[in-house]
Amino acid sequence: MATTIWLITGANRGLGLELTTQLLATSPANEVIAACRNPARASDLHALQASATGRVHVVPLDVSSEQSMRDSVRHVADVLGERGLDYLYNNAAINPAFDSPFDFDYATLLDVLQTNLAAPALLAELYYPFLLRGDNKTIVNVTTGLASLGLDCGPKCTSYSISKCALNMLTYKQARTRPDFTCICMDPGWVKTALGGEGALLETADSAAGILAVISRLTPADSGKFWRYNGTQHPW
């Protein structure tokens, strides 16, 4: 059986963990390289490893560290062998401040840009040779409705919104550079996670199921678009 191989960042909790769980449950062909910054404490991923033998590989990856991102290639290459990578799913992100344009912390802004923008950019460059060898050649950059100018979301979460808006532009550039790849922005919706908060509208299971349904239908013609978990699209 041909395998479909996913690399998911920030896979130890929240949506990354839920996506990993659903991928393993929905098809025996799915194999997940679950990246997280502290594998020793990723107990949920280790539980998944025990139940889906050989189909979950937990690798260390701190996306705020250039060295860790570069080091991750060795771990992933060991898992892949001669095989290619089908999906790079850039999920890890932070939203540490409910800030605004005239009241923000400069160091926090730089941290947010590093984690939410520079990391997905570097990871796409580092894993490009592996994606070239894969069948699906897909990059999913997880963004948010807050990154849409068209939705006019106002000043809230300025640093986070800026970072994700720039990630959208990166996605567009990736799509236009490689028409044979599928590179998309994905908004998971407002989801009950540590990042989304208790008051969010969606359960992680519903968001993740929607995301995987959208991804399963993607073709290169869908590349460079700003998708939502429910299959509709956001305005840029």
Ligand X SMILES: NC(=O)c1ccc[n+]([C@@H]2O[C@H](COP(=O)([O-])OP(=O)(O)OC[C@H]3O[C@@H](n4cnc5c(N)ncnc54)[C@H](OP(=O)(O)O)[C@@H]3O)[C@@H](O)[C@H]2O)c1
Closest residue to ligand X using C-beta atoms? 14
Q: How far is the CB of 80 from ligand X (least distance, A)?
A: 20
User: To the nearest whole angstrom, how small is the minimum distance from the Cβ of residue 189 to ligand X?
Assistant: 6
Rank residues 136 and 193 by Cβ distance to ligand X and give the closer one: 193
Nearer to ligand X, 29 or 110 (CB): 110
Contact 58, 49 (CB under 8 A): yes
Phi and psi for 186 in degrees, rounded to 5? -130, 120
Q: How many helices (H) and strands (E) does the chain have?
A: 7, 7
Binding site for ligand X (CB under 6 A): 9-10, 12-16, 36-38, 61-64, 91-94, 115, 142, 144, 187-188, 190-191, 193-196, 200
Q: Are strands 56-60 and 87-90 parallel, antiparallel or unpaired?
A: unpaired
What lies within 8 Å, CB to CB, of 108 at 6+ separation is: 96, 97, 99, 159
DSSP class of residue 116 equals: I
Residue 37 or 46: the one with the smaller Cβ distance to ligand X is 37
Alpha carbon distance 75, 29 (integer Å) = 21
CB of 31 to ligand X, least distance (A): 19
- Cβ 111 to ligand X shortest distance, Å: 9
Question: E strands, 148-217, where?
Answer: 182-187
Tokens 């769980």: give the residue. Answer: 21
User: 3 or 22, CB closer to ligand X?
Assistant: 22
Shortest gap between Cβ of 232 and ligand X (angstroms)? Answer: 15
The smaller minimum CB distance to ligand X, of residues 30 and 91, is found at 91
Q: How far apart are the first and last CA of the chain?
A: 39
Cβ contact 57:32 at 8 Å: yes
Helix or strand run (H / E) with residue 217? none
User: Of 2 and 194, which has the nearer Cβ to ligand X?
Assistant: 194
Asked if residues 188 and 139 have their Cβ atoms less than 8 Å apart, the reply is no
Q: What's the closest the beta carbon of residue 28 comes to ligand X, in angstroms? A: 25
